[in-house]
Structure 1
Amino acid sequence: MKKVIFMACAVAFTAAVQAKTMDNAKLTINKNNIKVWTYQNAQNPVFQYKAETSFDVPIEKAVSLILDVENAVNWVPYMGSVKVLSRDDQKGEFSLYMVLDFPFPLKDRDLVVQGKMRKDAQGIISIQNKAVKKGYPINPNYVRLTDYEGDWTFQRLGNQKVKVSTYGYANPEGSIPLSFVNMFVQQQPYQMLQKMKVQLGKSKTATAFPEILK
């Protein structure tokens, strides 16, 4: 079964970093029931982001969409391809190889991601991801990303309602103007959550959950 968690090019920081930077957050997008905040710190000029929305579907259906790797290229912006390298449902661990289709004339990016999925005592499901330097051969046609962290969280608001949050950060590497990168950081999560809503409307059933998320 080739289904696993991925972190769609929407890259994020951990909850600890989020807590430290929340006071400096700027609400950059607030429309269509989607909010996007951007953050900056003195160590890195590239924006980090938090984006959130809610969907009128069961939490299982929303999480299932993230579990469906084969469908990711249909709704995650700039996602060129995703390959499952490993998955351990008992431990809730996985690894992926992703190619990001950047617009011309920029060179496409690739990365190897290791992730962890878990469910806490309150029933909140989280998916945490981090790029690693090894795990897949270097392809000279791509720029390899190694400075990337991200996560998703899903909180049940009712039998037919779920709050979805995604946090992101990545160093895009290469010679890309900072203004372009930061504009991308603001727009990408908004577009992704919009497309996620469309995909949830198309999906009829939920993927079977890994045991660790039940």
Structure 2
Amino acid sequence: VSKILIFLILISMTFSSIMAFDITSFESIDNWIVLQDNATWIGWTNHSGFPVCQTRANLPYPMKRISNIIEDIENYPNVFKRITTAKKLDDNIAYLMLDMPFPFSGRDYIIQFVKDKSETDWVFSFKAVIHVDTPPNERFVRLINASGTWLIKPISNSETAVTYTWNGELLGDFPSWALPKAWKTQGNEIIEWLGEALNE
């Protein structure tokens, strides 16, 4: 009986979510504080006690090419340069490690992701979970509330509107006064690196 109980606990730990917060319904979020308003729009707002950030841009590529890059998680280190490790733990669960500027510790997180495609858009959303194969690493700050959503909508056959919304919480020793600058940098990097990958 005890072995069965232990097994059930481990299974529960593997797939249990550690957060109630997610931003899959981000389109209802308003009151954005604008950090940048040009070809790449970036803003943030406080939502359910978390700093929710968003970056938007129109890219001159078809929706399918963009979605292929976003859903290829294990190739993220070759696209998004701050991601040093990205590996799938299960079909819809992945582990990622982020490099941070000196002197801050790196960040890591485990996410469960969902893809949803319709005739008018493509959505890739994720939120943090616990997985028994990746216990906390003392060299990294675990982002236990990680959450995000990619929304891509075709403007034409060769142009696509891309919106990425994420929980900007960095935890650890990152100073709160520096967060808006970090969010702006991240928003620009995401669009820039995605564009570079599409241009290859």
Same fold per TM (> 0.5)? yes
Contact 1:77/1:188, CA 8 A, preserved across alignment: no
Please list the CA deviations of residues 17-47 of structure 1 after superposition, one character each: whole Å capped at 9, or x if unmatched: 541x31x11221123x211121125834xx3
Q: CA deviation at 1:155?
A: 0.7
Contact 1:100/1:109, CA 8 A, preserved across alignment: yes
Equivalent residue letter for 2:108: D
Question: Which of 34, 45, 49 pairs up with 1:27?
Answer: 34
User: Where does residue 157 of structure 1 map in the other structure?
Assistant: 155
Distance change (3 Å), C-alpha of 1:17 and 1:119? closer
Q: Within 5 A, what are the aligned runs for 1:17-96?
A: 17-19=26-28, 21-22=29-30, 24-31=31-38, 33-41=39-47, 43-44=49-50, 47-87=51-91, 94-96=92-94
Q: CA deviation at 1:71?
A: 3.2
Please list the CA deviations of residues 53-107 of structure 1 after superposition, one character each: whole Å capped at 9, or x if unmatched: 11111111011111233432133142111011111xxxxxx11000111112111
Q: 4+ residue stretches of structure 1 with deviation over 4 A? A: none
Q: TM-score, normalised by structure 2?
A: 0.81
Q: Quick check: which has more Rg, 1 or 2?
A: 2
Contact 1:75/1:199, CA 8 A, preserved across alignment: yes
Q: Distance in 1 between matches of 2:61 and 2:126?
A: 24
Residue 123, structure 1, aligned to residue 120, structure 2: yes
Q: TM-score, normalised by structure 1?
A: 0.76
Q: CA deviation at 1:173?
A: 1.8
Q: CA deviation at 1:182?
A: 2.6
Please list the CA deviations of residues 157-201 of structure 1 after superposition, one character each: whole Å capped at 9, or x if unmatched: 111111111001143221221012232112201121012111101
Q: Distance in 1 between matches of 2:171 and 2:32?
A: 24
Please list the CA deviations of residues 123-172 of structure 1 after superposition, one character each: whole Å capped at 9, or x if unmatched: 31101100113342222221211111101011111111111110011432
User: Where does residue 25 of structure 2 map in the other structure?
Assistant: 16
Q: Which runs of 5+ in 1 are unaligned?
A: 1-11, 88-93, 203-214
Any idea what SS the aligned residue of 2:139 has? Answer: coil
Equivalent residue letter for 1:26: I
Equivalent residue letter for 2:60: D
Equivalent residue letter for 2:82: Y
Aligned-residue sequence identity (percent) comes to 20
Aligned length in residues: 179
Q: CA RMSD in A?
A: 2.0
Q: Which runs of 5+ in 2 are unaligned?
A: 1-20
Residue 201, structure 1, aligned to residue 199, structure 2: yes
Contact 1:13/1:167, CA 8 A, preserved across alignment: no
